[in-house]
Every structure is written in C-alpha cells, then in structure tokens.
A and B are shown apart, each in its own frame.
Chain A
C-alpha cells in the first residue's frame, strides 16, 4: 500500500514553527494538498458536490481559526476527516445513512467507451460486488485506511475503539478476499 509516511507522522502545528512558517502558510499548504481528498470524502458521505465543496472550504477555515486561536491540532489531516465526519453526522442524524456509499452509482462513466471490453467489465463488476459485500462500517474504515489514516486516527474520526477498527478491517479483508477469489 503506498501510504504517505509524511502524512502519518505530522508534527503538531504551532502558531509559528522554528523556520518561521506561519499558521496561515501551514494551513495553506495543507489546504492545497488535502482539499481534494476531503471533498471526495464528503461526496462519499452523500453530500451533493456544491455542498461538499462549501463544507470542505469551511473545514479548512475552521482549522485555520482554531490554530490562530492558539489551539493545538496534533494531526490536521485526521482532524479534517473528523470534522467532515461530524458534519455528516449532524446533517444526516443517523450514521447508517451517511455510511451508505451509494454503490449503485458506481461503474459510472460519463463518456461511453465502445472499446471497453467484456473482460474489463467483468473485472470491474467482480470488484464492485466484492466491495458491496462490505458493511458500511467496514467500508468506511477501509476507505479511511486507504486515504492513509492510521488505526488510531480512524478510531478518532469514526468515534470507535482501535480494536474495533482492527476488527472491522480484518472482516473487510476476509470478505474482499473471499469475494475476489471466487
């Protein structure tokens, strides 16, 4: 798995670091690097595109305001996912709803490609069916894991224990393996 170690070992953001980089500059960098992923995550959580973009921008502004006020954020990336998750919780009221990743919109391709072969379709179909075997929690844990979050960060984002994250990921692994091996 090509995780980015830099993202997993981020230092806490301070008001100004030893090299003189300001909070504004640090958040600016994080904004440039991460806004696409947070936006995608909000789309997966079921928000329409315009609302997802608006909330993404709000989350980064909130990060900046917190840091400017002297609050410490140990891991901005996990913090941003947590904010997105909370926004979804507040918006949908029930976790089961926002955890639905709406698998039926998958296999979408706005440009119909006549050369897409039957084999490719079957592969994609097998993969899609394998992912559909996952429960919403398993899928959410795997999604965040693929985004580069560690177990503790996933646990903080979703609000469950690290052992529960491990269990969800173990089951997700078994299910995907079983479905893809068929």
Chain B
C-alpha cells in the first residue's frame, strides 16, 4: 500500500464504496478529498475500459459452449446412477489389442505427416543439392570481414582468434563448423533441439527471390539460426547465427565463388505444392498485403505459427500448424473473401503443436542470480515477490516485443521500397497502418520493459545520432536484432546463472541495449512516416 495515502481511503475502501458497502462516515471523506475522488474515477475508468475490452474484443473471440447445457437434475441423476458393470467377453482382449496396434500405427503415420513442416521440407530438399567444392564464405563479425572455405578439411585449425572462438561456439552448440552454410548442418542442429520454433519467410528484396528458414530455440548456446535459400534451386547463400551473449554472426557465400544455378530437383523429394491449382492471374504483392491485413484483424499475424509465402508466384500460400480447430475456422473465415489465396492447415496434435512465443512459459526464476545482486534487486524493487513479478512481466513483455519486431520484418521483407511504391494509394496506406500498429505495440512494450527495469539500471545511456536515411524496411533486421538482444540479455540476467561481475556487466550492457532498441524503434517510426 502506498504510504503517502495512509490518511486517505484505501483501495479496498474505495472498492467498498463502489459496491455500496462503505459506511456514510467514511464515504463522506470523498466529498472533501480530491485525491481519493480522482482515484475513484480512475478505478471506474479502468474497470470500464477492461469491461469494454472483454465485451468488444475478447467476447467475440470466445467459442460458445459446444454442447447444450445439461440441467442440474440431469447432472445429479448421472452422478447418482450406479456405474454399469459388464461381463468380460473372451473376444474383447484380442479385439482390443488389434485396435491399440492399429491406433499406434495410424498415429505414427499421422504424426509423421503433421510434423513435416515447410521448414523441414525446404531443408530436406536443399540438403539433397550438390554443392560445389570450391565455395568460399565470408563472415561479418565485430566489424571485420573474414573469409574461409565453405567446407573445412578435417583436422584443419582456425588460426584467427575470432574464427577459433566461433569454432568453439559452433562445437558447443552442436552445429557443424566444418560446413556451417549448408542445409544438412542446419537440419542436423535443428533436429537435435528439444524446443524450437520455425518460420519461413519469402524474400523478394534482393536480385532474386529466396526463402529464409529460421529456427529459434530457448535452450542451448545457439538461440537462433537462419539459412537463406535461393528460391530457384534452394542453394544456401546466407546464414545468420545468434549465440547467447554474442553479437549476431552473418555469413554469406562469396559472390566470386557462386556456382551456376542448379536447376535439377531430386525426384524423390516431396514438393511444397501438394495440390497444384491453376490460377490464370498470378498473385500480386497487394494480394499478400491483403492476406496479412486480414490475419491482423484477428490478431493472427503476430506470434502464431502461421506462414505467409508466395507459391511459385501464383498464389499467396497461408500455412498454419498446431492451432485449434476454432482458430483455424477463424483464419479460414477472414481469408475466404480474398483472391489468390491458398490456405493449408494442420490441426493441433499433442505432439505436433509448436510452442507459440507468447504462451510458451519456460521456467523463469531468478534462482541462479548471485546473492548480492538478488539482494540489491529486491531492495530496489521492494522485496522478493515484487522481483519475481517484475521478472515475469518483463520477460513476457520482451517476448511479445520480439514477436512484434518479427511482424515488422515480415512486412519489410514482403514489401521492400520498390514494391511499396508500386502499391496503390489505398494499399500503401494499409501497409503504413499495419506497420504503425506493430511499431506502436513494440514501442509500448519496450517502454514497459524500460519502466520496470528503471530501478535496477544505474543510468540511461545517451541517445546517439540518427543513422543516415534508410527506408524502414532496410532497418527492420536491426530492429529484430536489437529486440532479440534485449530479450537474450534479460533472460540471462533474470533467469540465468552467472557470477556477480558478469551480472554487473549484464546490467551495463542492458542499459545500452535498451537505449539502442529505443533508438531503433524511434528511427523506424520516422522512416515509416
């Protein structure tokens, strides 16, 4: 309770007043106290706003009871009815055994089918491609550009200290350092993850269309890896790796060593187009925009396992996996009026459902924090309970912020400046609206995180000069990286194990990272106007 208000009515008394249960003597205080009257008005406004949220936003999304309500008499009668006992028939045992065997086989087959995600398919197809032996890759790290062969010979050692450091990181992450820019290595790492979230993005901005397969995981030292595959032959051209506590690592095939496009395709690999549909008019970027806008109306464009891509330039392919039948129906309903859209859905199964970033609740506890730092945090925040609440709140908000940054990145990759300028006025406005929506949410979430962490951070870092003018699309990878960096640091600081000096370093880094995120968000807004 706020000490400043000790001579005023408590929140509980104000609530009792709202409920009509406050004695007149105490209620009369409200007539003379402007502060209590203001608090009462705020309470009214807050409950009214939340009621509006429930009625206008949440209620339409809630499913009605699937069955007619049973009467109380019926419930009581069933409860009181004796459980019938049946005599065991001799043929029941073998029949039951057969049913179980069939169920296991069918379940196994269905599970295999359901688990075949677009990321798996792309990686599987890419892994069958032959890669030239003379490939070179360049790496950008700490402002340096390094080059190395795409495939290291067994036993070769990295003499450069940065490369040697990277080799150790890759080895610890169980990701092949011998051949990091390959679908086989990516697939091998990805298959070994206990928890993961995949996304596939179609990139139109470069000289040629490409797919970017990205996998995020909450465990292990390698938190995120992305592989860019050239669309026409699924040749891996770029890689992006985010190791815990490290700067993002970018890797790309050296242009001088680019091999000629490989046009052949392995005949035994299933194609993405399971049900080819002949469409006379190919899908336009506006069609993709309308799909994203439709998904936005039901909040399905952020943090849900839904991928939007262009199917060979003919249709906008929307793929959803792991969602409830009700949610799939909602998505189908908003997509139904749109042209050039193909919706593919896989129903949720207990094993196939991927963890959504917002609802995944890893064990978040500050138990691994050094005692002195924990005490310092508790003193500044007002106790262990407040620290735990702040931890939950901040990690939740930061996870949502990363999801919003990804949503902006999806817009950026689908609508680079040249495509944006080719849109109609109406569609440009729509794109601007969607961008603003995600941006505003991201800004609010970042501000909420900063506000919560304010008592812990020693000083606010200075805002640097804005970078040279770049379109918001160009800056979106930096936005994602900045949000991801804050998220990683927060997870380590509030839910990791480390020493006191490392904790103090983390706090200092976090101040800088938060300031950087704030800057990038602001610049993103200026560019998006």
Measuring CB to CB, which residues of chain A are less than 8 angstroms from any residue of chain B? 1, 3, 5, 8-9, 24, 27-28, 31, 35, 39-40, 43-44, 48-50, 52-53, 57, 60-61, 64-65, 94, 96-97, 100-112, 116, 118, 121, 124-125, 127-133, 135-137, 142-143, 145-146, 150-151, 162-163, 165-167, 169-170, 172-174, 176-177, 179-180, 182
Contact = CB atoms under 8 A, between A and B. Distances in A.
A6 to B, nearest CB: 11
A176 B49 contact: yes
| Residue among B56, B64, B296 having the largest count of chain A Cβ atoms under 10 Å | B56
Contact of A118 (B1, B18, B433): B433
Contacts of A127: 49, 52-53, 56-57
B423 to A, nearest CB: 17
Contacts of A130: 49, 53
A96 B333 contact: no
A interface, by DSSP: helix, strand, loop or mixed?
helix
Contact of B298 (A43, A109, A118): A109
A49 B12 CA distance: 34
Interface in B62-80: 62-67, 69-70, 72, 75-76, 79
A179 B46 contact: no
B11 A65 contact: no
Contacts of B334: 109, 112
A57 B347 CA distance: 27
Contacts of B19: 3, 5, 8, 150
A151 B45 CA distance: 18
Interface string B15-47: 110111100000000000000000100111111
Interface string B349-388: 0000000101101001000000000000000000000000
A128 B57 contact: yes
Contact of A179 (B66, B400, B444): B444
A105 B79 CA distance: 36
Contacts, number: 204
Contact of B10 (A39, A128, A146, A166): A166
B21 A142 contact: no
Contacts of B52: 127
B58 interface: yes
A27 B400 CA distance: 42
A145 B75 contact: no
Nearest to B14: A166
B84 interface: no
Contacts of A103: 299, 358
A151 B15 contact: yes
Interface of B: 1-2, 10-12, 15-16, 18-21, 39, 42-54, 56-67, 69-70, 72, 75-76, 79, 294, 296-300, 302-304, 324, 326-327, 329-330, 333-334, 336-337, 356, 358-359, 361, 364, 389, 392-393, 396-397, 400, 433, 437, 440-441, 444-445, 448
A1 B44 contact: yes
List 4 tightest A-B contacts by C-beta distance, closest first.
Answer: A108-B61, A166-B11, A173-B46, A49-B63
Given A57-B70, A65-B79, A142-B47, A167 B15 contact: no
A132 to B, nearest CB: 7
A163 B1 CA distance: 7
Contacts of A151: 11-12, 15-16
A173 B48 CA distance: 11
A43 B441 CA distance: 25
Contact of A96 (B15, B48, B364): B364
A129 B54 CA distance: 13
Contacts of B66: 49-50, 53
A8 B2 contact: no
Contact of A50 (B2, B67, B337, B392): B67
Contact of A49 (B46, B65, B441): B65
A101 B359 CA distance: 9
B393 A135 contact: yes
A162 B70 CA distance: 36
Output the residue of B75, B302, B396 with the most chain A CB within 10 A.
B75
A179 B361 CA distance: 25
Given A135-B393, A146-B54, A166-B12, A31 B72 contact: yes
Given A57-B75, A165-B12, 19 more contacts: A5-B19, A28-B72, A48-B324, A53-B69, A94-B361, A106-B61, A108-B60, A116-B297, A129-B444, A132-B400, A132-B441, A135-B392, A146-B51, A150-B16, A163-B1, A167-B1, A169-B46, A170-B11, A177-B46
Contacts of B75: 57, 60-61, 64
